[in-house]
């Protein structure tokens, strides 16, 4: 067994960064740009369809060098290679982490327990292709012989957020005669609202769950089954034409009553939040068609290849990951905003919340010791320009600094009213204002009364990464998502945490299971050993419901 790594804050490379941070002091982005007229071009990379400008970060060449020293000291590249080789780097669950295999080329070989998983991946992709083509062409019909008009994906977390985000992102590439909806919340209103205008005879449910034991999904799927059978006269044989499953758990799928012939498989080496290029993407493939889905996979693969082979200094996920380490470690940044200047990417921040926060929201390292530095940030955001009229005030003039990603595209997918220039002008302007602000002298020179000068001054120095894609296409989306996946990987590796488990979601699930029977009609008084807060809430709830 190799010895436990030295805690991060005891490494000489961390000390060097600390000293460097002190030396930087209150260096302003304005000064960095004045000192280097080429900075905007030098601190940028083009990878595939993405141009990424990281010049508006509080870093110098020396910072980047020191951050890369830390990458080497932390064995990030070795862990990356171990992931690509299928080694069980998910240490607390003893599993390989191989979402990259989901977008591998047919001839590739990636072994897990002596088996080339690439073969299985492509077999499932072929089945997905056949199925989605049948639904799209109308060959797959419902129980009464009618064409499927709506696909409802029932899943939660990674079995919902990826396909839901990507469906929204790639809406323009979807078959507009086929509606796709996503039901996730155990709040019955979700299923009710998403099905109220649907005809069961024309509705197909895809029940997506890695484990097929997730209570929200099984509850919603059970209710959906009831809705279907009520609508179709109660004939149980209808289920086979209106329900398919995506899961790793054939036993539970069959126990639920879905024919395993209608199950699309994936594997325990695919983490839920890394799964939408697996069969979890079935609803998406049905919406946009197999060809566009494969284009998206090619985008993922291109970024995987870049991450695996580009030299560290020009390795985009590595750089973006290390910038996050820099701000968390030395600027006490607690949150990270993701601001897409694209309405199609409306759900991208929500998707990233799970990807990043479920991966790196950890406070013990792989050896179970407390991590001595700040780990994953709170990730949040909504599309620009909407956010500009809501919380951007705080981004510009609040007391803390929130590093942000501005994401936009040079070419619009569709711009019938010629509004794209205005949208993008706003994105460029926000990055500029956040970085350079407006000094008190500039404000005063405009004739602003002295008492208003402090109010109208913008401190600037607020870091942003600008991601300018060529155009939002399936391929670009693949590149973008893979970029963030690998960024999260890099950070987890530096912090020496296991980015691939999620034990932190368990306790609430167990407690909910215990509380639920106490809410039901006829339940005994809430037990006395319940804490007084929960007991009172349970009692008030029961009273309000007349129980």
Q: What strands lie across the sheet with 243-247, from one edge to the other?
A: 179-183, 150-154, 203-208, 243-247, 263-265
CB of 444 to ligand F6P, least distance (A): 53
Which CB atom, from 136 or from 210, has the smaller least distance to ligand F6P? 210
Which CB atom, from 214 or from 461, has the smaller least distance to ligand F6P? 214
CB of 509 to ligand F6P, least distance (A): 7
Q: Of the candidates 194, 273, 336, 362, which one interacts with ligand F6P according to CB under 6 A? A: 273
Task: Show the binding pattern over residues 429-468: x = contacts ligand F6P (CB under 6 A), - = does not.
Answer: ----------------------------------------
Catalytic residue among 216, 358, 479, 485: 358
* Residue 185: CB atoms within 10 Å: 13
- Is the distance from CB of 494 to CB of 70 less than 8 angstroms? yes
Catalytic residue among 509, 513, 516, 525: 509
Footprint on residues 108-127 left by ligand F6P (CB under 6 A)? none
Residues 71-109 as b/e (b if ≥16 CB within 10 A, e otherwise) read bebbbbbebbebbbebeebbeeeebbbbbbbbbbeeebe
CB of 275 to ligand F6P, least distance (A): 7
Q: Which residue has the tokens 């080497």?
A: 72
Q: Of the candidates 163, 272, 281, 460, which one interacts with ligand F6P according to CB under 6 A? A: 272
CB of 245 to ligand F6P, least distance (A): 11
Task: Show the binding pattern over residues 350-389: x = contacts ligand F6P (CB under 6 A), - = does not.
Answer: --------x-------------------------------
CA distances for 389 relative to 393, 395, 430, angstroms = 8, 12, 12
Residue 194 annotated in active site = no
d(CA 324, CA 501): 21
d(CA 219, CA 204): 17
Residues 303-314 as b/e (b if ≥16 CB within 10 A, e otherwise) read bbebbeebeeee
CB of 269 to ligand F6P, least distance (A): 14
Helices 290-309 and 474-495, packing angle to 10 deg: 40
Which CB atom, from 132 or from 359, has the smaller least distance to ligand F6P? 359
Helices 290-309 and 117-137, packing angle to 10 deg: 150
Footprint on residues 486-505 left by ligand F6P (CB under 6 A)? 502, 505
Q: Which stretch binds ligand F6P (CB under 6 A): 15-23, 25-33, 155-163, 533-541?
A: 155-163
CA pseudo-torsion sign 325, 328, 333, 334: positive
Catalytic residue among 389, 451, 455, 506: 389
Q: Which stretch binds ligand F6P (CB under 6 A): 78-86, 207-215, 227-235, 295-303?
A: 207-215
CB of 113 to ligand F6P, least distance (A): 21
Which CB atom, from 203 or from 502, has the smaller least distance to ligand F6P? 502
CB of 461 to ligand F6P, least distance (A): 37
Q: Can you tell me whether residue 465 is helix, strand or coil?
A: strand
385 preceded by a cis bond (ω within 30 of 0): yes
CB of 158 to ligand F6P, least distance (A): 3
- Is the distance from CB of 414 to CB of 172 less than 8 angstroms? yes
Chain residue at closest Cβ approach to ligand F6P: 272
CB of 266 to ligand F6P, least distance (A): 10
The number of residues in the chain equals: 547
Which CB atom, from 247 or from 457, has the smaller least distance to ligand F6P? 247
- The secondary structure of residue 535, as a DSSP letter, is H
Which CB atom, from 224 or from 468, has the smaller least distance to ligand F6P? 224
The H or E element spanning position 254 is helix 250-256
Q: Of the candidates 48, 142, 157, 408, which one interacts with ligand F6P according to CB under 6 A? A: 157
Task: Show the binding pattern over residues 67-106: x = contacts ligand F6P (CB under 6 A), - = does not.
Answer: ----------------------------------------
Residue 193 annotated in active site = no
Which CB atom, from 161 or from 468, has the smaller least distance to ligand F6P? 161
Q: Of the candidates 55, 104, 132, 159, which one interacts with ligand F6P according to CB under 6 A? A: 159
- Main-chain phi, psi angles of 141, to 5 degrees: -115, 165
Which CB atom, from 153 or from 473, has the smaller least distance to ligand F6P? 153
Q: Which stretch binds ligand F6P (CB under 6 A): 152-160, 258-266, 454-462, 479-487?
A: 152-160
Footprint on residues 211-270 left by ligand F6P (CB under 6 A)? 211, 214, 217
Which CB atom, from 159 or from 315, has the smaller least distance to ligand F6P? 159
- Degrees, nearest 5: CA angle 108-134-185: 85
CB of 214 to ligand F6P, least distance (A): 3
Q: What strands lie across the sheet with 44-47, from one edge to the other?
A: 44-47, 50-53, 464-471, 404-411, 335-340, 378-380
Residue 20 annotated in active site = no
Q: Can you tell me whether residue 493 is helix, strand or coil?
A: helix
User: Is residue 30 classed exposed, middle or buried when 0-12, 13-18 and 19+ CB atoms within 10 A define those classes?
Assistant: middle
- Is the distance from CB of 53 to CB of 466 less than 8 angstroms? yes
Token digits of residue 484: 């963030």
Which CB atom, from 156 or from 238, has the smaller least distance to ligand F6P? 156
Q: Which stretch binds ligand F6P (CB under 6 A): 127-135, 153-161, 163-171, 332-340?
A: 153-161
- Main-chain phi, psi angles of 406, to 5 degrees: -105, 125
Q: Of the candidates 74, 80, 210, 366, which one interacts with ligand F6P according to CB under 6 A? A: 210
H-type helices in 11-116, by residue range?
Answer: 12-24, 29-35, 39-42, 61-73, 76-84
Give the footprint of ligand F6P on this chain (CB under 6 A). Answer: 156-159, 209-211, 214, 217, 272-273, 358, 502, 505
Residues serving a catalytic function are 358, 389, 509
């Amino acid at each position: 067994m190799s010895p436990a790594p030295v805690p991060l804050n005891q490494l000489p490379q961390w000390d060097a960064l600390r000293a460097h941070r002190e030396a930087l002091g209150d260096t302003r982005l304005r000064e960095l740009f004045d000192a280097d007229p080429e900075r905007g071009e030098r601190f940028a990379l083009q990878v595939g369809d993405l141009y990424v400008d990281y010049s508006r970060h509080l870093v110098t060449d020396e910072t980047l060098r020191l951050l890369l020293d830390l990458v080497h000291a932390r064995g990030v590249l070795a862990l990356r290679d171990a992931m690509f080789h299928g080694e069980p780097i998910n240490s607390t669950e003893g599993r390989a982490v191989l979402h990259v295999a989901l977008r591998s080329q047919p001839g590739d070989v990636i072994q897990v327990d002596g088996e080339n998983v690439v073969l299985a991946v492509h077999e499932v992709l072929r089945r997905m292709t056949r199925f989605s083509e049948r639904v799209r062409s109308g060959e797959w019909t419902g129980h009464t012989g009618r064409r499927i008009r709506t696909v409802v994906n029932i899943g939660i977390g990674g079995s919902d957020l990826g396909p839901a985000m990507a469906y929204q992102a790639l809406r323009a590439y979807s078959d507009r005669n086929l509606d796709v909806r996503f039901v996730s919340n155990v709040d019955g209103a979700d299923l009710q609202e998403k099905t109220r205008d649907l005809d069961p005879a024309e509705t197909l449910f895809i029940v997506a769950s890695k484990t097929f034991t997730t209570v929200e999904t099984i509850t919603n799927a059970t209710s959906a089954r009831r809705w279907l059978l009520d609508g179709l006269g109660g004939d149980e044989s209808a289920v086979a034409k209106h329900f398919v499953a995506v899961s790793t758990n054939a036993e539970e799928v069959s126990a639920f009553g879905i024919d395993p012939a209608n199950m699309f498989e994936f594997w325990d080496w695919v983490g839920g939040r890394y799964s939408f290029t697996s069969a979890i993407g079935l609803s998406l493939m049905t919406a946009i068609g197999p060809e566009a889905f494969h284009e998206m996979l090619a985008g993922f693969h291109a970024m995987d290849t870049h991450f695996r082979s580009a030299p560290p200094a020009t390795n985009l996920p590595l750089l973006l990951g290390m910038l996050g380490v820099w701000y968390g470690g030395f600027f006490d940044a607690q949150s990270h905003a993701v601001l897409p200047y694209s309405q199609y990417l409306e759900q991208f921040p929500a998707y990233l919340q799970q990807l990043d926060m479920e991966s790196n929201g950890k406070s013990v390292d792989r050896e179970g010791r407390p991590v001595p530095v700040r780990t994953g940030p709170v990730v949040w955001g909504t599309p620009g320009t909407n956010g500009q009229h809501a919380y951007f005030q705080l981004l510009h003039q609040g007391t803390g600094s929130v590093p942000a990603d501005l994401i936009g595209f040079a070419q619009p997918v569709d711009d019938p009213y010629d509004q794209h220039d205005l949208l993008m002008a706003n994105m460029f302007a926000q990055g500029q204002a956040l970085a350079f602000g407006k000094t008190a002298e500039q404000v005063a020179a405009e004739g602003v009364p002295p008492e208003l000068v402090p109010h109208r001054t913008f401190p600037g120095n607020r870091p942003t990464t600008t991601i300018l894609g060529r155009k939002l296409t399936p391929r670009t989306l693949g590149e973008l998502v893979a970029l963030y996946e690998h960024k999260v990987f890099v950070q987890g590796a530096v912090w020496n945490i296991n980015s691939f488990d999620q034990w932190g979601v368990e306790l609430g699930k167990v407690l909910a299971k215990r509380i639920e029977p106490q809410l039901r009609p006829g339940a005994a008084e809430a037990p006395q050993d319940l804490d007084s807060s929960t007991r009172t809430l349970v009692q008030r709830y029961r009273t309000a419901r007349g129980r």
